[in-house]
């Protein structure tokens, strides 16, 4: 007998998130509710595995723990406007949408942008998420400045144009930085006193193009 998706989600939250220190109740509730299996183009069986998974076009969706860690680090509130770079299948955008006021999700590959849009619509998770086809390394000036930016592909260094679209006081960005095998997930925060950078974890992302 296979375990139902709701039960798999509950186990994911307990064993992969809470046990590793994810404590933000809003993040935990969002990931308990959003049907991750609905975002998987092939083989829903892998939807709750504790590892990254392929989403087509050579891209991968992050391990659930990394999605949770990134979302938690941004300390989102219902009034926040968020830019997501690398929408992929749309799952992470759905999590951000549950936590923030509105999300602009940019995706470079047209087929993935279309898939994200469809997945968000079908699951009813996309009410406050706008998927845009484009190059997110340049950010998205039309809706800047942002309270938060979530970058889901690894950069060689922090793209200046992206950082420049954060609110000068209070804006924060989570971004994987570094070459393959040496990537670190960084949290950058703009404060009245200046900018701080904190290292959150080692990580493994596809490259930002
Ligand atoms: N978080 C996503 C998966 C991200 S995988 C999810 O939940 O599924 C990284 C994504 O970033 C890929 O879809 C890739 O096409 C996209 N990407 C890479 N470089 C990009 C760029 N410059 N602008 C926008 N998207 C980019």
Q: What is the pLDDT of residue 24?
A: 98
Q: What is the pLDDT of residue 2?
A: 59
Q: What is the pLDDT of residue 20?
A: 98
Q: What is the pLDDT of residue 43?
A: 74
Q: What is the pLDDT of residue 57?
A: 95
User: Do residues 105 and 93 make contact, with C-beta atoms less than 8 angstroms apart?
Assistant: yes
User: Do residues 36 and 9 make contact, with C-beta atoms less than 8 angstroms apart?
Assistant: yes
pLDDT digits (tens, 9 = 90+) for 113-169: 999 999 999 999 999 999 999 999 999 999 999 999 999 999 999 999 999 999 999
Peptide bond into 103 cis (omega under 30): no
Buried b (16+ CB within 10 A) or exposed e, 64-87: bbbbbbbbbbbbbeeebbbbbbbb
Q: What is the pLDDT of residue 46?
A: 87
Q: Which of 165, 166, 147 is nearest to 102 (CA)?
A: 147
pLDDT surpasses 70 at 81: yes
Q: What is the pLDDT of residue 49?
A: 95
Distance CA 151, CA 173 (A): 8
Query: Which residue, by CA, sits nearest to atom 10 of ligand 1?
Result: 86
Say what the pTM is: 0.97
What length does the chain have? 209
Mean pLDDT of the 96-104 span: 98
pLDDT digits (tens, 9 = 90+) for 14-72: 999 999 999 999 999 999 999 999 998 777 788 999 999 999 999 999 999 999 999 99
Record the tokens describing residue 19, joined without a space.
């046990």
150 is catalytic: no
**Ligand 1 centre distance from Cα of residue 129 (Å):** 16
Query: Is the shortest distance between the CB of 112 and ligand 1 below 6 Å?
Result: yes
Q: What is the pLDDT of residue 178?
A: 95
Q: What is the pLDDT of residue 1?
A: 44
Q: Tell me the three-class secondary structure of the chain, residue by residue.
A: CCCCHHHHHHHHHHHHHHHHCCCCHHHHHHHHHCCHHHHCCCCHHHCCCCCCEEEECCEEECCHHHHHHHHHHCCCCCCCEEEEECCCCCHHHHHHHHHCCEEEEEECCHHHHHHHHHHHHHHCCCCCEEEEECCHHHCCHHHCCECEEEECCEECCCCHHHHCCECCCCCEEEEEECCCCCCEEEEEEEECCEEEEEEEEECCCCECC
pLDDT surpasses 90 at 3: no
Q: Of 108, 139, 180, which is best to mutate to test ligand 1, by the most ligand atoms within 8 angstroms of its C-beta?
A: 108
Helices 64-73, 91-99: crossing angle, 10 deg rounding: 30
Q: Of 38, 56, 71, 88, which is best to mutate to test ligand 1, by the most ligand atoms within 8 angstroms of its C-beta?
A: 88
Query: Is the shortest distance between the CB of 47 and ligand 1 below 6 Å?
Result: no
pLDDT surpasses 70 at 208: yes
């Amino acid at each position: 007998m296979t375990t139902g998706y709701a039960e798999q989600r509950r186990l994911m939250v307990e064993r992969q998130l809470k046990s590793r220190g994810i404590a933000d109740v809003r993040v935990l509730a969002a990931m308990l509710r959003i049907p991750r299996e609905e975002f998987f183009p092939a083989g829903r069986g892998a939807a709750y595995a504790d590892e990254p998974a392929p989403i087509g076009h050579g891209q991968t969706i992050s391990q659930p723990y990394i999605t949770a860690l990134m979302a938690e680090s941004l300390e989102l509130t219902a009034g926040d406007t968020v830019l997501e770079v690398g929408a992929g299948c749309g799952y992470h955008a759905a999590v951000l949408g549950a936590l923030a006021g509105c999300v602009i999700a940019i995706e470079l590959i047209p087929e993935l942008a279309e898939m994200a849009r469809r997945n968000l619509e079908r699951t009813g998770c996309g009410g406050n998420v706008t998927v845009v086809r484009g190059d997110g390394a340049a950010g998205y000036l039309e809706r800047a400045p942002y309270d938060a930016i979530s970058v889901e592909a690894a950069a060689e260094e922090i793209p200046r144009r992206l950082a420049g679209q954060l609110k000068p006081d209070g804006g924060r960005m989570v971004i994987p930085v570094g070459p393959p095998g040496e990537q670190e997930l960084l949290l950058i925060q703009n404060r009245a006193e200046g900018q701080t950078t904190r290292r959150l974890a080692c990580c493994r992302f596809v490259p930002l193009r």
